[in-house]
Each structure stands twice: as structure tokens, then as C-alpha cells.
Chains A and B, each alone.
Chain A
């Protein structure tokens, strides 16, 4: 009698297994095939083309009824197996049993469903089978939300968008497909998806699916709501192991198999996404086909060993060209080669280890993917071709990427000179009209004739038109780029760049993740330019700004609460004293900025201490920030016998308007009540000296490594106008200065006259500057500890683990 082979699951892996078994050992086994889906095997990978309308279901069926009949397969489709009786070697479905000599479990994966309220509502689907696909095909003209920006989620999103749905993708991580792509490639992908009308929301955590009888919307933790007639959850899969667990087979994350695909029961085998082999799970078909080959041999009593090879990923969305393969994770000794062509939206990255390729990421031009993959798989020594490797097989004399690409890509209407509203097109016209030196361009267009910070860009546009080199281009802002600070700021504005990866890609950064000089600068430029859209990147900040405290030489921190204008109360002093005692602060010191410093605080105590200080109504003094520090005041006319105005009051008003704001360097203010100047206002970045007739505003002072006396900016009889001028000049400094230039340095670059023209002589411009400052403050006038001393955040300030005890054992 023929031996009986029972297979649970008619999927991609078991389909391939049957082909192999029938071919290599015709007649060896009598096969019974159970499947939970009411159909036989079809090409699951091709569901996406079915969804988008590029293919019909009939075209993706791999094994039809005739094939099963020709091989005498007893098909039990639509009959999920519910139990395995190992003792008697029988499996049971709802409608009866089937005895086996050998059993193959090939149940694939189950989609992971995030446990949020509303997940069981009609209209919430996964993306795994034909039923899911059909539900999604029916979304034309409707709102759809896809949760999960990985391979599957994006194919679902693009498919529905192609059907005419309004699609939003919600992704938990900072960029799409973070498992396969780095941020630069993720950014390019997002841009391409947005071009086809898909909304992408990264760093979005789903809180609930709303609706009563049917899904209606998706609510995120940050409060955003997206309407949704259909919600597709594509957040991941886990091996479908339930039958194996119930049968007490050895199961870790997947069903554990040996190199011959045998489970802990010698009569039972497992195959496909449901297995775990040497600690590894599988989510792509290539290794599953190898498994099928091995298992077919095992079943025909031949020796075979399964050894997985690395696999490559491609996203099956027409027009999004990406390729990723190999391993980016977790091994010392690796280096990167990066190539960016911003003009054409191309990004390539190779990860090397000992002159061997271990990983490839490509976006925009993936033609060489297979070649790199081959080098990687064969472990080819790429040492000899390292210099030109990234340019691919056809190109062994590779030209360096073009530093002018970003400028070349600017549209003619892009504004180059903000002061005089001169566009790229106007400069090109001037050059075409015969202007070939900077002075000539300046004379006929006014470009770079005012603050002068756009000079580098103007020169680049000229060079583009003249085809020549740029005359004394300003130095690049760091070793990662040839663009100067000013150029980077302008290009962020005119190209509408809203993330660090976007800047690095579009401006052709030559490093993978920037360096410690450009990252903090870019983070500031982006938050100053797009206060409402850009999200501050803590990991791109210096330690003090990341931890909202000044680090000390021994790794402890100092805590300085704000004391508005240097004025305090007994209650505040009591709260400070309590905190100092409670956390054993080694030194309490009055600072040179009219407030109190608690020095020597341990990092893990910071959030607790701040919870206490916040509760007493105090906020961070930002004594660590490139931002507003102190507003020093004197007692003024309220108490002082010679005071002319309420300098204390004005100082407090200024500090209350300006606290929390980030600036290119630290910003200190002082307000003195009379020219005796007890608040030292004339050596502050911005100062006010009160006089009988009103307020004299001075700027550009400092008393640090270089002592600078201020120069007069404006005089006004009105306190309100004084405040407006100060806010306006602060905003101008924020928008215009190089990162780490204090006001006096910036003033030296752009000239006092230019600053005056912007904020004193032009009231409309002043108003606009103040408005932009206030817009930014609507986000940043907030104590950082309100978000950082929460129960969820507090543990992150302590060590991750304490192994001192283990060592003692």
C-alpha cells in the first residue's frame, strides 16, 4: 500500500513541495491536502498586481483543479485542520479525520493585529489572502488607512490608490520600510508615494479605530484623526503555529525544525513561514523554495540539508524603484559607501565588511542590484575595485557626484536672494544678458546686495549658467558637504526640505548620518524654518540640549530653574531648597545670570527633580541651550531712586514672551533702568537701557571669550514697540544667522544697517517677523520636562541594566 502524506496548508511553500515530490518520486505518496482558504494554491506575491488592477485573479492561480486531479491529490479546500492526534497519526478537520504516515505542517503566517479598540469592526482587514484583497479592491472614491509602512502595507496603499481610493499610511517608525531602508532611501520612497496622492504619517502610533457598526476613522496617539471606510493592518506577521503548539511539538517563535525540516516528532515535518530554523524565521519565498526542495528529498529518503541564503527585497509598486538585500545589522567592522544623485532622486549604499559586501540599499536606479547581490552572495573581494564599485559594473571610471546638482534642480522661480526677492531665473537672465561677475549681477539684479548671505548660491547659479568654476565659493559647513551654512539654509527653504534625511539626500551629503557638527545645525535650521511641521530630533542635539541640563566634568548635571527677570518668591526658594535636600545636591550656587544653580545632580534624578520643580510652577531655565538664556534686570523705577522705567517689569515681559525659543547660539538679554546700567545691558546680545524719554535698544554685546560692547539699534518711547523690535530682531537672527554665530558675529556678516532696515525702518516687515516668532513659540514655549518627566519617559534616564549584582554572585 502507498504511504499517506498529509499536508496542512496549500500555500506557496507546499505548492512547490508537491511539484518536487511528484517529479522526483512519482507514485511514492498518496497525498491529502487541507487548506483553510476555499481554494488551492495561487501566487500570493501577485495579490498586489491583482489589487492594483494590473492582473486578474485567474492569472495568478499556480495549481488548478486539473493539476490536482492529474496527481490524485485528495483536496480538502475550505477545511481548516483543527487537531493533530500524534499518538494515532491522524489529523482532524471539522468534517473528519485523515490518517498519515508523514505529516507536513505548512500553515504559513498569521497577520499580527495590534490590540487597539475597534480592531474587530467590519471594515478592518489584514493583507494576506484573496478575501482581504477583494475588500481592498472595493475602495474607489473612499477613504482608506493602511497601518504599517513596510513592504506589505505600501503595496496595499499603492494598490488602493491605483483603484482611486484616498489613502493614508500610518507608520510607527521615523521612516518607511525601516527594516530594509535607511532614512535617505525611506525619504525618497515617501516622496514618490506622496506624488501619487498617498498621505504618509511617520512616527504615528495608532490609538483606536473609531466607528460603531463599521470602521469610520483611525485615531492616533498624537490626536490626529484620519477618516477610513477601510482600515488595512499590515504591521507584521507571526508564524501560524497553533496546531503545533496544541500538539506539543517544539515551538519557539516558529515550529522548530532541523536541517532536514523535521520537527521534534520524526513523523511530522514543517515547511514555509511557520517554521523556525536555527533561530531564524522566514518571510520571503526564496528560502521557502529551498526548504521545499530539501523536504521533497527528505520525504523520498534522500539526504539533503537546508542552509538559508540571504535574500533580496523589491517593492512591487510600479514606479517606485527600490532594492535592498543583505544584512545591515549587528556586526563590528563595517563601513559604508554612499552615492547620491539629488537631481535624479538616486541613492545607493553599500555596506562592506573586510572588503566584502554585506548589504545593499538602492533607490531610484536599481539596475545594478543583481550585480551587487551576486558579489555579496559569492563573497567576492571587492578591494581592487573599491574606488569605483558604487558606480556599478558598466562604469569603472566613475565621476564624483555633482555638488551643483541641488542648485541645478531648483526651478527658475526659486528665490535665491530673500532680501531683494531675486529668483534663480532672474540671475540666469542677467548672466545671459552679459553679466559675468558677481558685481555685475549684483548691479543689475540686486541679488546678494543686502545681507550678503546668499552670495555663495548666487555664485553657484552663475557658474551653472557660465559653465565655469565658482569664484571663491564659501567653505562647506562640515566635511559632509560642500555647501555653506547659508546655502543650506536657503536650499532648505526653496526646496521645501523638511527632514534631516531630506536635506542630506537633496544636497548630496557624502556621509551616511552626518556628523556631530552638521546634525545639530541642520536640526536647528529645520525647526526654525518649519516650526509647525518639523519634529525636533533629540538625537541630533548636544548632550545638554538632549538632557535639558548642563553636563559636568564628572558626568553629573546642573539644574537651573527659570527665575523670570531674576525675581523669585519664598515659595520658589522653598521648592528649590526642598529639591536640593531631597536629591542630595552637592552645591547650590547663585549664577552670574541672576538665578540659582543646583550642581552635581545624577542623570536618573533629573526627571524626578523636575517633576517636583514643575509642580511648584517652575520651568527649565535653559541654561544649557542655544536659545533664550536669561533676561537680566535691575530694580528699576519701582524701587530705585534714579530709575526711569520699570526695567524689572520689561525684563519679565520679555522673558515670558521669549522663553523656550531656540536660536543659532545662546541669547542673553539685559534691561537696565537707567544709564548707570546695573544690569550690564550693554554687554548682552540684546539690551535695553531705559531713559526718561523711553527705551534705547542695543545689540551685539558679549562678555565671553571676546568682550563686545553693544551698538544702538533703535530708540522708542513705547514699551510695546521696544518689545516688538526685540522679538523681530530675534526672529531675524533665527532665520538668517549661521548656527553657532552669536548676534555680534552675525551682525558683522550682514551689517547693522541691513538689520535696521529690516526691523526698525520697515514696520510691515517687523510685524511679519514678530508673527513668525509667535508661530514658532506656539510650539516651543513649553517646558521640556512636561513631556520628559512622565512615567513612560522617566525609566529612560536610568541605566538600562545593572550587572553589578550578577558579577558579585
Chain B
């Protein structure tokens, strides 16, 4: 069985914004960029747990809303001088539906 789960329509995620998906292992933030790319990362900032889904999305980066750490959505890595790493999850859009694979999460949990 495919590990990808249909979590909703692409239109439900604002451009340059994110929505949260609750999973057994914690919340995952699903981002949509200006040009409709989607990315999924943990919704917990490694600094002090800020909800990254509420950050400002610019290009393929997001700025944490609590203390402005910046993360690359591709890799989940914090931009220097800060150091930190977010778990990323496979996600893609198929026929306007957002398909997310959180198996990494559940294995860890």
C-alpha cells in the first residue's frame, strides 16, 4: 500500500502559508510556496518549539514566528548563524490533492 495519505486539497493551503496536520508523533506543517510547491516539515522549531506553520514563507524558506530562525523548506536545515534540523516528510500534489507520507514520523514515534 502506498504510504501517501490524501490530507486535503492544495487550495486549502494559502500560497506563502501553511496548514497543520496532526499525527500521532506530533504536528506536521505543510507549506505551499508562491509557485505552488509543497513541503512538509515538523511544526516544532528546534529552538523553543515555535509553530513554524505560522511563520512568514519567502521563496523556499520559512521564518519561525517566535524568534526569527530561518529554515530551508527543502532540507529542514536552519540558516546560519543558527543551527538546527527539522524532520522533513515526502509530500506531493496529485490532481490538486496533497499527498503526505508521515511514515518516517510514525516509525520514530
Using CB atoms and an 8 Å cutoff, list the residues of chain A in contact with chain B.
Answer: 174, 182-183, 253, 279, 328-336, 511-516, 519-520, 538-543, 546-547, 551, 553-555, 796, 799-804, 806-808
Contacts and interface: CB of A to CB of B under 8 A. Distances in A.
A542 B56 contact: yes
B74 A516 contact: no
A801 B7 contact: yes
Interface string B10-44: 00111111011111110100100111111100000
Nearest to B43: A555
Contacts of B37: 328-331, 334
Contacts of A555: 49-51, 54
Q: Which 6 A-B pairs have the closest CB atoms?
A: A807-B24, A800-B19, A516-B63, A543-B65, A539-B16, A801-B7
Contacts, number: 129
A804 B24 contact: yes
Given A547-B54, A555-B50, A516 B68 contact: yes
A800 B54 contact: no
A540 B56 CA distance: 7
B23 A796 contact: no
A513 B16 contact: yes
Interface residues on B, range: 35 or more
Contacts of B54: 543, 546-547, 551, 555
B56 A799 contact: no
Given A513-B33, A803-B23, 16 more contacts: A182-B34, A329-B36, A330-B38, A330-B93, A332-B39, A332-B73, A332-B74, A512-B59, A516-B55, A547-B54, A555-B54, A796-B12, A800-B12, A803-B21, A806-B5, A807-B24
Given A551-B66, A807-B106, A330 B7 contact: no
A539 B63 CA distance: 12
A475 B83 CA distance: 27
A803 B5 contact: yes
Contact of A803 (B22, B38, B39, B94): B22
13 contacts: A174-B15, A330-B92, A331-B92, A332-B39, A516-B58, A539-B14, A553-B48, A553-B66, A554-B49, A799-B27, A800-B8, A804-B22, A807-B25
Contacts of B30: 800
B78 interface: no
Contact of B22 (A183, A334, A520, A802): A802
B34 A512 contact: yes
Most chain-B Cβ atoms within 10 A of its Cβ — which of A253, A514, A540, A807?
A807
Nearest to B60: A334
A329 B16 contact: no
B21 A519 contact: no
Nearest to A552: B66
B74 A333 contact: yes
A333 to B, nearest CB: 5
A800 B7 contact: yes
A657 B25 CA distance: 49
Contacts of A182: 34-35
Interface of B: 5, 7-8, 12-17, 19-25, 27, 30, 33-39, 48-51, 54-61, 63, 65-66, 68, 70, 73-75, 88, 92-95, 98, 100, 102, 106, 109
Q: In this complex, which of A329, A802, A803, A804 has the most chain B Cβ atoms within 10 angstroms of its Cβ?
A: A803
Contacts of B100: 801
A538 B23 CA distance: 27
A800 B55 CA distance: 17
B19 A804 contact: no
Nearest to B98: A800
Given A516-B55, A546-B54, A551-B66, A803 B7 contact: yes
Contacts of A554: 49
A253 B95 contact: yes
Contact of B102 (A547, A803, A808): A803
Contacts of B102: 803
B75 A799 contact: no
B58 A514 contact: yes
A547 B53 CA distance: 12
A513 B34 contact: yes
B58 A515 contact: yes
Residue from the set B24, B56, B70, B95 with the largest chain A CB neighbour count within 10 Å: B56
A803 B17 CA distance: 20
B22 A799 contact: yes
Contact of B70 (A334, A516, A538, A799): A516
Contacts of A802: 21-22
B15 to A, nearest CB: 7
A648 B15 CA distance: 44
Contacts of B19: 796, 799-800
A279 B109 CA distance: 34
B34 A520 contact: no
A520 to B, nearest CB: 7
A187 to B, nearest CB: 13
Contact of B23 (A334, A553, A807): A807
Contact of A329 (B73, B93, B109): B93
A808 B55 CA distance: 30
Nearest to A546: B54
Nearest to A801: B7
A804 B56 contact: no
Contacts of B39: 332
Contacts of A801: 5, 7-8, 21-22, 100
A329 B95 CA distance: 12
